[in-house]
Amino acid sequence: MNGLSVDIVARQGDFDLQVAFDTSAAVTAILGPSGAGKSLTLRAIAGLLRPERGRIVLDGRTLFDHPQKIDLPARSRRVGVVFQGYALFPHLDVGANIGFGLVGSAAERDRRVQELAALVELDDRLEARHSELSGGQQQRIAIARALAPRPQLVLLDEPFAAVDPALRQRLREGLRALLAREGVRVLLVTHDIADARALAERVVRMEHGRVVATGGVELAGG
């Protein structure tokens, strides 16, 4: 099947997660209040949290299958992640951050870093440290870093949580254009209806560790 298929049961501490959804949309939003289990779902898909049971299949590739004892490590999943705080490596400059996941010759890596830096319009800041950059620029670097190794899926965890509301609208538009150009499948986790409406084609609504509805953007309400 083309797309992402998730059907898992996971547990962390007292929290009990039971999530099932399928999507073949280019951009899917997991929408729900904080504490709904959105970020845990994202961690499970990325391979950073091991579910107790279930299956995760991405474009026909099994990432996790409990009965078959398949559990690809995060490094082999080809799933990129952009965390809420971006987690840009503070000891590396912009270029080294973007290129962190690249393999191959130095020339190849340089070319890909240049390409992505140009894509996020930061090709003149390759030697900057992230502390010298604005929140929006940091976000773009984190996205470029996730895209660099050509993942099959990119997970965005509350991409605008760290940005002030005035900037959000502009960043959403920028992000939408960027994702469309790179043509990568995206799963976006957000508590903000406006994010889902602006970016997603498909919405998965979560509450209390369960999926309560799946559908088009009309599910985002508003």
Partner 1 sequence: MLDLMLRSLLIAGLASLAVVAVGVPFARLLARRRGLWAELLSTLVLLPMILPPTVLGYVLLLLIGRGSPVGQTWEALTGSPLVFTPAAAVLAAFVAALPFLVRAAQSAFEQIDPHFEDVARTLGRTELDIFLRVSIPLARRGIVGGAALAFARAMGEFGATAMIAGSIPGRTQTASLAVYDAVQAGRTADAGLIALLLALLSASILFAVGRTGAR
Binding residues (CB under 8 A) for partner 1: these are: 43, 46-48, 73-81, 83, 85, 87, 89-91, 100-101, 103, 145-146, 148-149
At 176 the three-state DSSP class reads helix
Min dist. Cβ of residue 76 to partner 1 (A):
8
* Residue 98 or 211 having the CB closest to partner 1: 98
Is the CA virtual torsion 77, 82, 83, 85 positive or negative? positive
Min dist. Cβ of residue 82 to partner 1 (A):
9
Report the interhelical angle of 165-182 vs 106-119 (nearest 10°). Answer: 130
Contact (CB, 8 A) for 30 and 189: yes
* Residue 83 or 211 having the CB closest to partner 1: 83
Any bridge partners for residue 126, and if so which? Answer: none
The token pair at 154 is 């990119």
* Residue 41 or 197 having the CB closest to partner 1: 41
Min dist. Cβ of residue 78 to partner 1 (A):
8
Contact (CB, 8 A) for 142 and 86: yes
Within the chain, where are the H helices?
Answer: 38-46, 94-98, 106-119, 135-147, 165-182, 193-199
Min dist. Cβ of residue 133 to partner 1 (A):
17
Min dist. Cβ of residue 151 to partner 1 (A):
8
Min dist. Cβ of residue 38 to partner 1 (A):
16
* Residue 69 or 75 having the CB closest to partner 1: 75
Residues of the chain by 3-state class (helix, strand, coil), percent to 5 = 35, 30, 35
* Residue 8 or 148 having the CB closest to partner 1: 148
At 128 the three-state DSSP class reads coil
Any bridge partners for residue 56, and if so which? Answer: 6, 64
* Residue 103 or 106 having the CB closest to partner 1: 103
